[in-house]
Structure 1
Amino acid sequence: MTERVQRVLRIPEIPGGPDGRRMLWINLVDKIGSGLWLSVTALYFVVAAGLDTGRTGLLLGLGGVAGIAGAPIAGRLADRLPLTRVLFAVQVVRATSGLLLLTAHGFWQLLPLVALGSLGERSASVLTKLFAARVAGPDRPRYQAVQRTVVNLGYTLGGLAASAALAVGTTAVYRILLLGDGLSFVLVALLVTRCAEPPSALRVVIVRTASDSPAGAGATALPAASSPWRDTGYLGFAALDSVTFLHGSALTVGLPLWIVTRTSAPHELAAAIFVVNTVLVVLLQVRLARYGSSARVAANSLRQVALCFLLSCAATAVAVLHTPWAATAAVVVAAVAFTVVEMIQSAVSWELSVSLAPAHGQGSYVGVHGLAQSTSRCVGPLLITSVVIAAGPAGWIGLGAVVAGSALLQRRMVLRRLGGPRPAAAELPLSVAPITVSEQ
């Protein structure tokens, strides 16, 4: 990040030191490439790969299901191997799958490559989250806010470039955009090699004493890594998080379809709401990081998530008014409220997913938490289109009530967990690796 960008966003100092800044550049390059591809994914498979729309939908759906496994696999590997090496390997996998798509033909050749790319994308998301948690330490809420701002800038730049390229409309342009996406992962992999390995509670530092014998008098063995699959409290938190993550599908799938099919608002608003979302995130995400400044603050901020989600769904329901200006106003209110939910919930989810995990199982826990967003991304569009929109305004009110109730229940669960006994491993600071002294 340049000093100019820091001044514009009013960021006093980026946490995490040099490696924290490198990871922000990595995220920027990654998301610029992703923005190039995400803008034209479906069109590429129809125009350049020759699939019909039905097979294209099936291809993307099956590929998304494969991506669900990426989060827990990456988290588990990050507890056992150096995180930067795992991240490097994942970026190489993403680059390989993207570049091989250029040579693939037919549904069955494309499917494993799309699945591999989806797996890599979800894995990379969890690994960069873990890197940030480890390198930023107590400043992770502010670092996450800066990172989300950078991510949105990257998507915006990539999307704008893709939009300009699509004006040409040739098959070659689609292939060039896919090539740009693949090459961005190559560059990201190279940038990862320049990052030092962040401290981890499972990394053991070995030193020697002057006597060249094990200094074991004060040494203690590290506790075994905890299993998130046996932690019902954390699993409950993650399950409820998958419900609150429905704000993404509501904004990106539900609201545009609602505008076009059920309201008298101008259809151009369906595209404009994405601009509203991006601009607000860039301007406000860092400021709203305070809602995740600690585990207890994050838990209490779930009340704001519940209230804002109710407001956004109610505004969407009201948008069926036949007066165009009233429908437009309701849509704008809904888009802003959904974006506020996104910003607060992302800060809350980030902080709780890390702080509720015992230090010695941090990777595995955060990986399992990654299933929440992945599952929501797969189930959300179908739920929104086949249930919520189909039910009309009552469907939106019902969605708001369900998500708000889930957020309040999640708050109660988290506060109970914070007030109760914590696993012994959780007593260790998340950002500092314990040192076992042994002379080797």
Structure 2
Amino acid sequence: MTAWTTRIPGGPDGRRIVVAALVDRIGSGLWASVSVLYFTYVSGLGVGEIGTLAATAGVVGIAGAPLAGRVADRLPLTRVLISTQLVRCAASLALLTTDHFALLLAYSALGSLGDRASSTLTKIYAIRVAGPERVRYQALHRTVANAGWALGGLVAAGALAAGTVDAYRWLLVGDALSFLACALTTLRCGEPPSPSRTVAASGDAPVPAVPASPWRDRTYLAYVATETVLFVDDAVFKIGLPLWIAHASDVPHGLAPLLMVLNNVMVVGLQVPLARFGATTAAARSLLLPLSATFVLGGAAMALSATGGPVSAVALMTASAVLFTLAEMLHATISWELSVALAPDAAQGTYLGVHGMAQSAQRSVGPLAVTAAIAAGPLGWAALGSAVALTCLGQHRLVRDRLGKPLTALGAPGRG
């Protein structure tokens, strides 16, 4: 267990990328918790303008993942990752230069594009540098990232105690500097081997199995569509639980941030140990079955929380938070393995870029699904959990025939 939880795959470069993730998430924690307040009190935007800004940035950010994946198959990955971090830094600093809505919209969209691109590029780097240990590497990476996010949030809370406008500006500067620090850290990393360029240079005869483009690969596109649904846990914690608590008159509103803390603590403490159960492709696929049960139970606990008194409501909401956090960790483990196993070497980056759209798309459709469940009352939560569980079972069947076969892109040289 000690080796599992402490040794970082990928050698020095693997460790540097994990350090960069910690710094990145500390900066993001500084900004994410105060961004709405910054645009309100520093930039002077109204509620409608802030909503439009956030929605537009989210939509633009969806394109970041596929663009990053496509570029990663063609150019040195470390250079692309460094460039992306510098773009994020510039976009954050640019927010300090203006209060004009159109410019703030453009800079926020650019930052969102860079954020989603960086996430995909970091995943591709992890896959290339860690090799067969990619699931454990991703688990360690995610654990460190969550710890960084929490630390950044605590620093932001302390800074806001000063109650000055300058505090917001300095937090934004801290966010920008974190991206610069990530770029400098990545600069020291070696270039990992690229399957796409290695395969393309091999000169071997083609061994057709899947399309060279994920946009023509119906199985992979269907898989990405199911992934969009399975990422719903993000909307549950950011939108669903707070709103459900706010509309439950017998539950203290302070429960909402406590459940967010519980979620973070569980991920930091359990993501790495749980990841070992999905370290192979077959094991990751098998985890879809307990994942479906977890979603059903999580939705049922939320539904039942509306049927009793305040004590039972708090207990059931806490149980639901635990279950949805467990679902989050199980799905992360499954997703890390299957998204790679279903992609051919010759177009790995491009495929993973398309997969990255699932999480981005969820940020748009997830809140709508969760608010619809809340509007429907207790049965809405039960229906949401059941729908996501059925999607798990659908994905389990969808990937069955594809796994275990040689994945070489049509029209691309084979593995040899």
The corresponding residue for 1:50 is 44
Q: Does 1:115 align with 2:109?
A: yes
The corresponding residue for 1:438 is none
Looking at structure 1, the residues matched to 358 and 193 of structure 2 have their Cα atoms a distance apart, in angstroms, of 26
Question: Which of 370, 389, 392 is equivalent to 1:404?
Answer: 389
Q: Does 1:220 align with 2:199?
A: no
Q: Does 1:188 align with 2:202?
A: no
SS at match of 1:270: helix
- Contact 2:62–2:113 (CA under 8 A) maintained in structure 1: yes
Q: 1:52-67 alignment to 2 at 5 Å?
A: 52-67=46-61
TM-superposed CA distance for 1:39, in Å, is 0.6
TM-superposed CA distance for 1:12, in Å, is 4.3
TM-score computed with the length of structure 2 as normaliser: 0.95
Q: What residue identity is the alignment partner of 1:220?
A: D
- Structure 1 residues without counterparts, runs of 5 or longer: 1-5, 207-215, 436-440
Q: 1:202-217 alignment to 2 at 5 Å?
A: 202-204=196-198
CA separation of 1:368 and 1:263: change in aligned 2, threshold 3 A: farther
Q: What residue identity is the alignment partner of 1:165?
A: A
Looking at structure 2, the residues matched to 85 and 184 of structure 1 have their Cα atoms a distance apart, in angstroms, of 18
Q: What residue identity is the alignment partner of 1:355?
A: A
Question: Which of 141, 146, 159 is equivalent to 2:140?
Answer: 146
CA separation of 1:231 and 1:98: change in aligned 2, threshold 3 A: same
Q: 1:229-308 alignment to 2 at 5 Å?
A: 229-262=215-248, 264-308=250-294
Q: Deviations over 1:47-104 (max 9, x none)?
A: 1110011111111111110000000000000000011111011001000000010012
Deviating 4+ runs (over 2 angstroms): 202-206, 218-225, 421-426
TM-score computed with the length of structure 1 as normaliser: 0.90
Q: Deviations over 1:23-53 (max 9, x none)?
A: 0001000000000000101111001110011
SS at match of 1:197: coil
Looking at structure 1, the residues matched to 198 and 103 of structure 2 have their Cα atoms a distance apart, in angstroms, of 43
Comparing 289-298 and 87-96, the one that deviates more? 289-298
CA separation of 1:328 and 1:135: change in aligned 2, threshold 3 A: same
Q: Does 1:339 align with 2:325?
A: yes
TM-superposed CA distance for 1:401, in Å, is 1.1
What percentage of residue pairs aligned between the two structures are identical? Answer: 50
Looking at structure 2, the residues matched to 167 and 76 of structure 1 have their Cα atoms a distance apart, in angstroms, of 44
The corresponding residue for 1:177 is 171
Q: 1:30-109 alignment to 2 at 5 Å?
A: 30-109=24-103
- Structure 2 residues without counterparts, runs of 5 or longer: none
Q: What residue identity is the alignment partner of 1:55?
A: E
Which protein shows a greater Rg?
A: 1
Q: Does 1:418 align with 2:397?
A: no
SS at match of 1:285: helix
Q: What residue identity is the alignment partner of 1:178?
A: L
Q: What residue identity is the alignment partner of 1:356?
A: L
Q: RMSD over aligned Cα, in angstroms?
A: 2.2
Looking at structure 1, the residues matched to 14 and 341 of structure 2 have their Cα atoms a distance apart, in angstroms, of 19
Looking at structure 2, the residues matched to 423 and 332 of structure 1 have their Cα atoms a distance apart, in angstroms, of 43
- Contact 1:97–1:116 (CA under 8 A) maintained in structure 2: yes
